[in-house]
Every structure is written in structure tokens, then in C-alpha cells.
Chain A
Amino acid sequence: MGYITNYQYYTNNGIIPTDSNWGSYQYVSLADIVNNFMLMYVGNDKLVNNVDRYNVLFHAKRAVQELNYDALRNIKVIEFELGDDLKMIMPPDYVNYVRISMLNNGVLFPLVENRTPMSATSYLQDNNLDIVFDVNGEIVTGTSRLDILRQEKQLYTGMGPYQGQYGYYWDGDWYFGYNFGKRFGLNTEEANVNPKFHINKAAGVIDFSTGVENKTIVFEYISDGMENGDDSLITINKLAEEYLYAYIKWALLNNKYGVQEYIVNRVRREKTATLRNARIRMSNLHPARLLMSLRGKDKQIK
């Protein structure tokens, strides 16, 4: 793709959305990557020859995914209001979370992950506690009891130290969340005043504990950069462009029959070195930032 004029950059030629070109100069498109590779790295007088474009496309996309997982850290941020079910469906391009925060009185409170399950697949059982199957022989599932308990905290009106506290009533007994810490010592892993969340990968949802219903949640996550399958939207930062070429070259030669091992090793080292370079470049380690951090070295801790 050719360069665009300043007018096109700032106003998109007056076409809505007028901001679609802002910051676009940082990026190179997937189409450019594939085209450049086919043009410059494929040929009978080059290391790579007789390769189909879809092979290059596949490895280019894999390289983009790999970069998105760690080096690029292109973090997407969404905010939403949580409902009473305390569940959030993962975004369609979700790969992993970076941070989940709760917006309360204009302040972001980072939430802590709770690794114990907050919901489960609930098998329906009959009166004899036998599992119920449908006509196809599949197990019939219902609403998770964990889900219900999480959402239906009840006020304990009985006597004793827990009077007036909210807890869970189950099978004739009361359960209070904070008893865990009091009785067995503080669980430092999860010790936090803020609500918690649990990533339910199988269900594709994120469960939250009570206390965040009807609150605004700010969700930071990473994707794989595939833009929901729209190839024309896939871009990569120019600082990592060389890595993409090196990765594609390595992937093609590494899987090709008859390529000498020293050539495979050469391109593998090139791939590793360019990834390292890309990481350093993307980490933005420049003197001004280091200076900013070092300014705090003399500050007395009271």
C-alpha cells in the first residue's frame, strides 16, 4: 500500500470514520507482509522457492499471533457493567487476561483472581441421585449450585458472632466467606478486600464474586491479532516487521525437505535475534523512561 497524504491521514478524506488513519503509520498490514515476502524472499535464486502464497499467509498469521502473545502486548481494554448473574462473557477475540479492575467512585480497584471454581457444570439427578439422561443418551445439565450460592447470599439472623452478616445457607448449615481466613489463618494468595474473579475457560465466561454486581468493570486482555478473521484489518507494528519475515522464512525452510541443517540453523538464529530485537524495541526502554524511574531511588520510605 502506498503512502497517504496528510489530508487523508488527518481526515480520511472526509469519510466517516474520519479518525481511521490516525496512528496507522506505526503499522504494516498483513497484505504488505505477504506481498513483500513473496516479492523479496521467494525465487529460484533465493533460499525459499516454489512456495504457495497460502503457505506464506499461514506462517505470517502464526507469527502475528506469537507476537501478540508476548512481545507486542497490544492490550485491548473494554469496560462494561456487570449484571446480577455476576458473569461476563469473554470477548470474541479473547486469548488471555492482563488485568481486571472495578471502577468505584472514579477509582480503579484491581481485582484478584480466585483459582477455586465459582461455578461448575451441574448434572441433573433424580430422587435416587442417579444422573438424568436425555433421549440421545447425553447427560442433562442444570444451573450450577455454586452459581446460585455465589449470587444468593442471605442475611444470617441467627444468634452468635455472625448475626447480621451475609452468608450462604446450604443443607442446614451457614457458610461465611471470611471464616476461612479467621479459622485457618490468612490465605495470602487471595487476601484482598476487593471482589475476586475466576476464569472459567471451558464455559467461556469470567465469574465474579459478590460485590461487583451493577458496577463498571474494566477488562484488559490480549488477543491474537487476527481481528475476527478480517485479513484486511490485521496489522503489525513496524518495529517487529523484520521478525515476521525471519519467522516465515524459518517456518518454510524448517519444514522443507532437503534443506541443509546449517541453513535451518542460520534462519532459526535470525528469527530468534529479530524477536529479541522486536521485544527490546517494543519494551520502550529509552533513557527518559529509565530516568523517570530512577528519580524515585532517593525517596525515603516512611
Chain B
Amino acid sequence: MINEVRNTVLSILSKDNRGYITPFEFNLFAKQAQREIFENYMQQYSNAYLKRIGRAYGEGYTDVPKRIAEGMDIFYTSSNLTYSGTHFNTPANMYLLDKLVYNSLEVEKVSHKKILNLLSSNLTAPTTSYPVYTYDENGLIVYPNPTTAVSAYYLRFPLDPKWTYVAMGAGDSDPLFNPSAPDYQDFEVSGDEFTMLVVKILGYCGVSIREQDIVQIAKTQEIQDTQQKQ
């Protein structure tokens, strides 16, 4: 998808000779655009879920929250956590922690305000049957201290997209797309984000080449696209 997005962006930019962006700039803008779309999934999902509770959405193809969730699910992953003596370290690519699991049991997150009460409670003190954890800058503390591996289930950040190419001779206008390069990386967000990716990258390009009308067009298109999806 990344080559189609780049071609579309360049086509719009080259109209009326507005300007050109290099592959390096494109990759930067593409990363930023994808990150924005990804982070917007949470808010979209939350809004859509509330609407579904209010019966604004139906089932099947009209189930918007389900479609958004599917877009997020491709980023859902798990990994065993490393233990540093006191804390479990979180994965570097983690965006949002969904749950911790050890010994096939879910470890429940507890706020710092409640943890001391919980630890001193007779009925609800954390046990191996009902473990809990807290989260601070050093990582995760699990109560009681687990004896088996702890796994984190989380949403990871999307991989940075990279449009790779083969440099042409000095006289050629544009490098040649090379999807076989080892560092090639396509967009990870779903294909129906094509328009949003184009308009967001166009927006950054317009700022970059100081074309106010490009920025304006991109903004208008983005608003329309967002409204259509809701």
C-alpha cells in the first residue's frame, strides 16, 4: 500500500508544480500519519462502542465498533516479561497494556491508592488465585511475587513504514520503488485508511513546502473522511 500512497501524494503535489518530497521526508510523514491514525483508533472505538450501547449501530456490516476493533486487533500481541529483581519490565514496543497473565490467571491492575488497603485486607489480599499488579516508572510489580513466567498481552505500536528504493542515475527524476529491500516496511494500518493516510501525509507536505492550499485541502478531506466513518 505504501507505494500507492506515495504515488498519490506525489501526483497531487506535482500538480501545478507545487513541489516534491524526498523518500526520507515521505517516510517521516508516513510514520507520523500512521501513528496518528493508530492512536485515534482508541477514541473512535470508545465513541462507537457507546453508540452501539445506545443501539445506534446494528450487527454485521453495520457493526462499526467491531470493524474498528478488528483494525486494532492486528496490533494485539503478547510476550513474556523480563524480571529485574523488583519489577517486570514492559516491552519496548508496548502502546497499551491490556492484561497480565501468569499461571493461566489474569493479574488484575490495582491503583496505587488501593494497593496498601488490598494487601492488608483479610478477604481480598492478593493470592496466587487472585494476583494483582501495580504499574510505575520502573515497570510492573506483581503481588504475590510470581514463581512462574508472567506474560503481557498488549497493543503494540505499528512498525515504522519505510518506502525503500533503488537510486537511479543523476538524470532520472525519481528513485525506483524496491519492495525487496530488507528494511522495507509497508503500512500496518488497514487498507481502508488509504485516504486518511494520503490526506494526512499531504497535510505534512503542505506545511513542509509552505503550500497553504494543500494544508487546507488535506484538512477538509480529513474531516469528511472521519465523518463518513462514524
**CB within 8 Å of B: which residues of A?**
31, 34, 44-45, 52-54, 57-58, 61-62, 226, 229, 231-232
Q: How far is the CA of A45 from the CA of B53 in the complex (A)?
A: 6
4 more contacts with CB within 8 A, not counting A53-B108, A61-B124, are: A44-B50, A52-B108, A53-B106, A231-B130
Contact in complex: B132, A44 (CB < 8 Å): no
Q: Which residues from B are CB-within-8-Å of A52? A: 108, 110
Contact in complex: A54, B129 (CB < 8 Å): no
Task: Tell me if B7 counts as interface (CB < 8 A to partner A).
Answer: no
Q: List 9 A-B contacts (CB under 8 A).
A: A44-B49, A45-B53, A53-B106, A53-B108, A54-B108, A57-B124, A58-B124, A226-B123, A229-B122
Q: How far is the CA of A45 from the CA of B121 in the complex (A)?
A: 31
Q: Which residues from A are CB-within-8-Å of B122? A: 229
Q: How far is the CA of A199 from the CA of B123 in the complex (A)?
A: 26
Q: How far is the CB of A27 from chain B (nearest CB, A)?
A: 16
Contact in complex: A54, B130 (CB < 8 Å): yes
Contact in complex: B118, A31 (CB < 8 Å): no
Q: Which residues from A are CB-within-8-Å of B123? A: 57-58, 61-62, 226
Contact in complex: A231, B49 (CB < 8 Å): no
Task: Tell me if B127 counts as interface (CB < 8 A to partner A).
Answer: yes
Q: How far is the CB of A66 from chain B (nearest CB, A)?
A: 13
Q: How far is the CB of A129 from chain B (nearest CB, A)?
A: 42
Q: Which residue of B lies closest to A65 (CB)?
A: B123
Q: Which residues from A are CB-within-8-Å of B49? A: 44
Q: How far is the CA of A45 from the CA of B50 in the complex (A)?
A: 9
Pick from A44, A45, A53, A62: contact of B130, CB under 8 Å: A53
Contact in complex: A57, B53 (CB < 8 Å): no
Contact in complex: B118, A54 (CB < 8 Å): yes
Q: How far is the CA of A31 from the CA of B118 in the complex (A)?
A: 18
Q: Which residue of B lies closest to A35 (CB)?
A: B106
Contact in complex: A54, B53 (CB < 8 Å): no
Q: Which residue of B lies closest to A31 (CB)?
A: B129
Q: How far is the CA of A226 from the CA of B125 in the complex (A)?
A: 13
Q: Which residues from B are CB-within-8-Å of A58? A: 121, 123-124
Q: How far is the CA of A229 from the CA of B144 in the complex (A)?
A: 14
Q: How far is the CA of A61 from the CA of B122 in the complex (A)?
A: 11
Q: Which residues from A are CB-within-8-Å of B132? A: 54
Q: How far is the CA of A232 from the CA of B53 in the complex (A)?
A: 36
Q: Which residues from A are CB-within-8-Å of B118? A: 54
Q: Among residues 89 to 133 in chain B, which have CB atoms less than 8 Å away from a CB atom of chain A? A: 106, 108, 110, 118, 121-124, 127, 129-130, 132
Q: How far is the CA of A298 from the CA of B20 in the complex (A)?
A: 109
Q: How far is the CA of A57 from the CA of B50 in the complex (A)?
A: 27
Q: Which residues from B are CB-within-8-Å of A53? A: 106, 108, 130
Q: How far is the CB of A259 from chain B (nearest CB, A)?
A: 17
Q: Which residue of B lies closest to A226 (CB)?
A: B123
Q: Which residues from A are CB-within-8-Å of B53? A: 44-45
Q: How far is the CA of A31 from the CA of B130 in the complex (A)?
A: 9
Q: How far is the CA of A58 from the CA of B108 in the complex (A)?
A: 14
Q: How far is the CB of B120 from chain A (nearest CB, A)?
A: 13
Pick from B50, B108, B121, B127: contact of A231, CB under 8 Å: B127
Q: How far is the CB of B106 from chain A (nearest CB, A)?
A: 8
Q: How far is the CB of A65 from chain B (nearest CB, A)?
A: 9
Q: Which residues from A are CB-within-8-Å of B130? A: 34, 53-54, 57, 231
Q: How far is the CA of A54 from the CA of B118 in the complex (A)?
A: 8
Q: How far is the CA of A52 from the CA of B132 in the complex (A)?
A: 11
Pick from B108, B124, B129: contact of A232, CB under 8 Å: B129
Q: How far is the CA of A53 from the CA of B124 in the complex (A)?
A: 10
Q: How far is the CA of A89 from the CA of B83 in the complex (A)?
A: 45
Q: How far is the CB of B5 from chain A (nearest CB, A)?
A: 36
Q: Which residues from A are CB-within-8-Å of B110? A: 52, 54
Q: How far is the CB of B55 from chain A (nearest CB, A)?
A: 10
Q: Which residue of B lies closest to A45 (CB)?
A: B53
Q: Which residues from A are CB-within-8-Å of B129? A: 31, 231-232
Q: Among residues 14 to 52 in chain B, which have CB atoms less than 8 Å away from a CB atom of chain A? A: 49-50
Q: How far is the CB of A147 from chain B (nearest CB, A)?
A: 32
